[in-house]
């Protein structure tokens, strides 16, 4: 059973409870200044955006076939059978290929930290593994954000459009974009009007990537060795830094 999030822009009142719930779940700071930031960052993993009289949310889309995971040379990013794309900071070598590869420009980086990490929403993987709702869905007062089985959420989204065709733009974002995502959107207007990237391909991007890579096996082999060496050096520096920190 693949889990997903359905976000209905027509029900969102811009209260930003989802932002606060997300911050609490991650132990991140959240105040009026951060609430005013309408962009995701290393300290804000979901953001409510204002588009005229309408609202939208930004968060990791948790693609069915995530490009970020396909380009990660050390397996720090993984797509789970539950739906979320999760991140293992202990494996990460800081190459930031995921940031370059993401079609939705989601992963962010802790540029101001001595030992920085990549940051992104993990769709509350641990909470969902325990049968709980995502933090953002749990605190949403209007039902604009709903968490559940992807197939059931898709059926519900289609039903909402069918029952109120005058209220909704007649499509669901995330059904086929980049091969499908685990975050789905409903809107009253075309999706680009609420800030979504609609110029992405309908095909999963890793499929396109591997078609190119399979034509250049020598380059891939050489690159893998080089990246492996870079990872070892980066990892070793981290170990030394942790050791030095314990000595002080």
- Domain housing 227: 216-247
Task: Tell me the sheet residues that pair with 147.
Answer: 5
The whole-number pLDDT of residue 53 equals 95
Alpha carbon of 247 to those of 60, 171, 229, 237, 239: distances in Å? Answer: 38, 58, 27, 15, 13
In a domain, 243, yes or no: yes
Residues 134 and 175 in one domain: yes
Give dist(CA 81, CA 79) in Å, integer: 7
Residues 16 and 124 in one domain: yes
Planar angle of CA 154, 195, 43, nearest 5 degrees: 95
The whole-number pLDDT of residue 206 equals 77
The count of structural domains within the chain is: 2
The whole-number pLDDT of residue 114 equals 86
In a domain, 210, yes or no: no
Contacts of 15 (CB under 8 A, 6+ apart): 141, 142
Enter the DSSP assignment of 201: -
Give dist(CA 137, CA 126) in Å, integer: 15
Enter the DSSP assignment of 12: -
> What are the structure tokens assigned to 30, written together?
């959240």
CA proximity to 60, closest of 73, 47, 75:
47
The whole-number pLDDT of residue 130 equals 96
Q: E-assigned strands of 9-121?
A: 47-51, 54-58, 77-79, 85-87, 108-109, 118-119
Residues 227 and 131 in one domain: no
- How confident is the prediction along the chain (248 residues), in pLDDT tens digits per residue? 699 999 999 999 999 999 999 999 999 999 999 999 999 999 999 999 999 999 999 999 999 999 999 999 999 999 999 999 999 999 999 999 999 999 999 999 999 888 899 999 999 999 999 999 999 999 999 999 999 999 999 999 999 999 999 999 999 999 999 999 999 999 999 999 999 999 998 888 876 555 544 544 554 444 554 555 444 445 544 544 454 444 44
Give dist(CA 30, CA 231) in Å, integer: 33
Residues 241 and 197 in one domain: no
Statement: the pTM of the whole predicted model exceeds 0.95: no
Residues 198 and 221 in one domain: no
CATH number at residue 95: 3.30.70.20
Residues 144 and 243 in one domain: no
């Amino acid at each position: 059973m693949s889990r997903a999030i359905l976000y209905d822009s027509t029900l969102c009142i811009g209260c930003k409870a989802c932002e606060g719930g997300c911050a609490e779940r991650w132990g991140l700071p959240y105040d009026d200044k951060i609430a005013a930031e309408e962009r995701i960052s290393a300290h804000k993993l979901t953001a409510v955006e204002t588009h005229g009289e309408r609202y939208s949310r930004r968060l990791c889309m948790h693609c069915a076939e995530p490009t970020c995971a396909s380009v990660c040379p050390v397996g720090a990013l993984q797509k789970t059978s539950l739906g979320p794309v999760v991140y293992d900071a202990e494996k990460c070598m800081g190459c930031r290929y995921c940031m370059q590869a993401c079609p939705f420009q989601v992963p962010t980086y802790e540029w101001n930290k001595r030992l920085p990490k990549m940051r992104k929403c993990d769709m509350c993987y641990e909470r969902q593994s325990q049968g709980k709702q995502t933090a953002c869905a749990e605190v949403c007062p209007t039902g604009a954000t709903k968490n559940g089985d992807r197939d059931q959420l898709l059926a519900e989204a289609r039903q909402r459009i069918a029952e109120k065709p005058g209220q909704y733009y007649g499509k669901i974002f995330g059904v086929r974009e980049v091969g499908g995502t685990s975050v789905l959107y409903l809107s009253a207007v075309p999706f680009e009007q609420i800030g979504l990237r609609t110029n992405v391909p309908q095909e999963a991007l890793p499929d396109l990537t591997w078609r190119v890579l399979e034509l250049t096996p020598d380059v891939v082999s050489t690159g893998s060795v080089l990246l492996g060496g870079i990872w070892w050096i980066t990892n070793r520096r981290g170990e030394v830094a942790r050791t030095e920190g314990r000595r002080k």
